[in-house]
Amino acid sequence: MKIKENLLKLKNILLLIGLIFIAIGGIITLNFNYAESPAHEYDIDLYTIDHPIYDFLPVRIDSTFYFPKMEYNWYLYSKKNDFKMPAIVFVHGYAADKTFFRGLAHEFAKRGFFCISITARGHGASGGVVGLTWENETLTAVDYLERLADSGFPIDKSRIGLIGHSMGAFSVTLAASIDPRINATVAIGGPLVNITRGFGFAGVLSLWEPENNTDIVQLMNYFDLRTITCLMPGLNVYMQYPVYMKWALENAVIQGRVNRTNPNNYLNIIGSVDEAFSVYSAQEVLWHMGLKGHPYNITHYVQVLRNHLYGDFNGTARKLTVLPTTDHITEHFHPASIYETLNWMEKSMKLTHPIYGATEYMLYQILFRDAFAEQLRSSSPIFMSLGLILTFIPVSIYLGNWLRSKYTKAKQAKELDNKKMWLMFLIYGIAFSIISLLTMPVIQTLNIVPWTDYLGFNMLHMLLFVQAILFAPVLIVLMLLERKIFNENLEDFGMHPKAFPKSALYGILLALFIFLIANLGSTPTLYNTLPTRPESFLEIFLYMLVVFTVLEILFRGLIQTKLSRYEKVELKYVSKILPAWKEFLLSSLVTSIIQGIGLGIVASMFVDSLSLIPINTHTLNLLLGGQTQLVIPNIPLPLLIIGDCIAISFVLSLAMNWLYRKSRNVLGLIIFSAFIISWVSTVITPVISGSII
């Protein structure tokens, strides 16, 4: 009794603390969106008419304009309208969208800059298919600024800057290399001199005698985007205009396309622990921008000094800023990034703040007030995430107790023979593995291609859907067989029809709770968590309903329901805290083994038709920069993938088993899971491949 009372208190404490975190995140969000917003924001579509993608296709580009409010529009109103606003174009990185730079756009708006933040093609609400770099979209935004200026809009077309992150850094660098209209460029977290080297540790290590790093070269070739279309020929029409793939790769380089004055005034900001690029790659980029020639004559890129200004702000300025202990995602809102970026643009454009002296303003406004405000703004998702984690269990308990149906109580008295139960589990595992082995051959034989808009997850959707369709007849046969042998009813499979309404409401409310809280905290920060393509979300949701109907009936309705009938099993210590430990923990273990092996087989066959790439100690040491002491002799990649899938499945099964205990009906879990995976697919990785315009 005392344990139950303590658990009840713990549940209420978690709920209270979680709600406090959510309230803090919500206050920060509302303050950033409304109380301290320095700009009027307008959404607008641009079209790459003057810069068609791959020389023939105009694409719609979703963009947001930031027009500084009167109290911040220093340049426009300070000299009786005889001055015009400088302008900045922001370009996000891979799998993000225009909201990624919203915080930095606000900081520039406070300084009187007119800003455009674009969503690259194949991302979010923009059209087209995902490409390697996005210089055409970037230059489209520059053209639009120029047209606005020519039409009388108060933009100074002689003062235009570009800021990009990650693949956006690659894109703005290429755009500035092509177009001399750009005053200044800031590349944050990128780029490489040559994109064909690869990214991450493999790309970094390729800088150091790549011909000797055979394991790295093998991994780079293995994970090359071009291998996807070889594995799945049906993807050719969807992947990056494959007719122009070779052209795109060959031109996605900086090497040979820059000189001392073009791009003008180039700043590279990189975190010391950046996962995608490196300080060395940043040094190499600057080295190619005139530093290896007169007057510097630097003989090797590693000699490029960090945090040192080369040249002057008449166009030859070059600088590499290294942020200590900063990773790839957090680079753009680091206080030093804010200071360096604003300072770089103002110096490049020969601007002096008309109200405050430059030194005083920078020391107070940027280093203290603005940097703190940006750090506070970026903390909103952290508070929201902590709040969601803490409140999820209490909310699921309260909703489950409220919507519990009398028809879904487990039949504890109807225990199965232990040997028969384990025999059925073995049959489930064998059947699921056989179907998994057939999934990829069926896809390749029938030339099935991803049908959803979103490249980020559409291959996963397709694999899961085909696997579920193939397994559905087998599942039906297993259920009919069990009904005959064990005299089971629908409720024994977690599908009592009279419990469906409450179960469905449970899944819907729980999904909406996560959705609403996440949107409240995340929309003004790194990502827009509202689906930008509702029709695509609905399409994926319908497919995922089929997938999770099959999976939940198997893993919850058949496996967990069987184990829930054992009430006489006890485990010392654990049983006191979790009386249904066998159902909760053992069903997670059984589920993770069956599901992990099945998904691992499909993933392995998708990656390279079960080709074995030896991952040994030498390769791991190379990838981890010599920091690992692991001794793993020649483990085939499929085994690593299967092991990862088992581990992931176990964690997910714990959560799903918990929710099933509260509803005892699979419908709620089906709706909840389908909603969450569809939402994540269309928001967290908003990259599309099917749309043309």
Q: Which residue has the tokens 């922001």?
A: 90
Say yes or no to pLDDT of 577 above 70. no
Give the pLDDT band (50/70/90) at residue 270.
Answer: very high
pLDDT given for residue 569 in this prediction: 46
List, in sequence order, every residue forming a beta bridge with 118; answer none if it has no partner. 63, 91
pLDDT given for residue 338 in this prediction: 86
Say yes or no to pLDDT of 27 above 90. no
Give the pLDDT band (50/70/90) at residue 516.
Answer: confident
pLDDT tens track for 95-142: 888 988 988 898 899 888 999 999 998 888 888 777 778 899 999 999
Beta strands in 81-236 (DSSP E): 85-91, 114-118, 155-165, 184-188
What is the spatial distance between Cα 26 and Cα 596, in angstroms, rounded to a whole number? 38
Say yes or no to pLDDT of 447 above 50. yes
- The residue that leads in pLDDT, 316 or 491, is 316
pLDDT given for residue 603 in this prediction: 86
pLDDT given for residue 667 in this prediction: 94
Look over the chain and give the mean of its residue pLDDT values, rounded to a whole number: 79
Say yes or no to pLDDT of 281 above 70. yes
Q: Which of 118-127, 272-281, 373-382, 447-456 has the least mean pLDDT?
A: 447-456
pLDDT given for residue 523 in this prediction: 59
pLDDT tens track for 317-339: 999 999 998 888 888 888 888 88
Average pLDDT over residues 256-270: 83
pLDDT given for residue 505 in this prediction: 94
Q: Is the pTM of this model over 0.85?
A: no
Average pLDDT over residues 363-369: 54
What is the spatial distance between Cα 675 and Cα 659, in angstroms, rounded to a whole number? 15
What is the spatial distance between Cα 98 and Cα 124, in angstroms, rounded to a whole number? 8
pLDDT given for residue 216 in this prediction: 44
pLDDT given for residue 662 in this prediction: 79
pLDDT tens track for 558-570: 888 887 765 554 5
Average pLDDT over residues 396-415: 72
Task: Determine the 3-state secondary structure of 193 from DSSP.
Answer: coil
Say yes or no to pLDDT of 62 above 90. yes
pLDDT given for residue 536 in this prediction: 79
pLDDT given for residue 367 in this prediction: 54
Q: Are 613 and 222 in contact (CB under 8 A)?
A: yes
What is the spatial distance between Cα 122 and Cα 289, in angstroms, rounded to a whole number? 30
Give the pLDDT band (50/70/90) at residue 68.
Answer: very high
Give the pLDDT band (50/70/90) at residue 522.
Answer: low
pLDDT tens track for 589-629: 999 999 999 999 988 887 664 344 444 444 444 444 443 44
Task: Determine the 3-state secondary structure of 501 from DSSP.
Answer: helix
- The residue that leads in pLDDT, 550 or 373, is 550
Average pLDDT over residues 21-40: 84
pLDDT given for residue 197 in this prediction: 61
Q: Which of 430-434, 606-610, 619-623, 671-675 has the least mean pLDDT?
A: 619-623
- The residue that leads in pLDDT, 527 or 645, is 645
- Assign residue 626 a region (left: φ > 0; alpha: ψ between -120 and 50; beta: otherwise): left
String of DSSP letters for 602-624: HHHHHHHTT----B-HHHHHHHT
pLDDT given for residue 623 in this prediction: 46
